[in-house]
Amino acid sequence: MEISVGIAGASGAAYAVRLLQVLNSIGDVSKVHLVISTNGFTLLKQEMSISLSSKNFKIEQLIGEKSRKIRLYEIMDFYSPIASGSYPTDGMVIIPCSTGTLGSIAAGTSTNLMHRGAEVVLKERKKLVLVLRETPLSEIHLENCLRVTRAGGVILPASPGFYHRPTEIQNLIDFVVARVLDQFGLPHNVGRRWGREDQGSKIKD
């Protein structure tokens, strides 16, 4: 499986880093095509003290280990494979997804590779997951969510649950990342599932 990952400039860098770490460890994933916006790089530095740029990029600084799977593309590189539907991928996730990125995708205005990658995924009827990180949502945001959903995309807000009784922030991060992995049908042991007796659920006779 090949998946594209976009990191936009919305709060939630930890979600992106954790997803990349897990994708790198899953045997079913052969390639990860990574796109980070300028604001995405700023986000990584501000929220996680990860200082990177497209010209000074080392994947081990981002996920803590080297990877042959993950490849970064310049945000304006329209010659990259994911800019064309003739290159087959299994879908794309933008995590976190800003409302600006949402709006561009909903309007079909591909002004950078992240927008174009999402447009390609939609037109090829592949999986597009937008991990929206914004609150509250205006009517414009909601209308854009509806447009993307009607086009075949999935709006997956960064809204972690609490039924698994999280005791640390990592539990909340894993909750959202697990939902993303589920959308692509990828096997994983990230987070806890509802109804699993071996994960603390109580079953009454």
Tell me: the pLDDT tens digits for 62-106? 999 999 999 999 999 999 999 999 999 999 999 999 999 999 999
Q: Indicate whether 43 belongs to any domain.
A: yes
For residue 203, name the pLDDT band (cuts at 50, 70, 90).
Answer: very low
Q: What is the DSSP letter of 72?
A: E
> Could you tell me which residues come within 8 angstroms of residue 114 by beta carbon, excluding any fewer than 6 positions away?
6, 8, 35, 37, 75, 94, 101
Helix axes 13-25 and 169-183, enclosed angle (nearest 10)? 60
Give tens-digit pLDDT for 144-170. Answer: 999 999 999 999 999 999 988 999 999
Task: Please answer whether residues 89 and 4 qualify as being in contact, where contact means their C-beta atoms are separated by less than 8 angstroms.
Answer: yes
Instruction: Give all strands (DSSP E) within 100-146, no chain letters.
Output: 127-132
> Could you tell me the two tokens for 95?
């995590």
Residue 201: pLDDT band with limits 50, 70, 90: very low
Residue 136 lies in a domain: yes
Question: What CATH number does the domain containing 80 carry?
Answer: 3.40.50.1950
When divided into structural domains, the chain yields a total of 1
201 in a domain, yes or no? no
60 lies in which domain range?
A: 2-159+169-193
By the 10 Å C-beta count (0-12 exposed, 13-18 middle, 19+ buried), 195 is classed as exposed
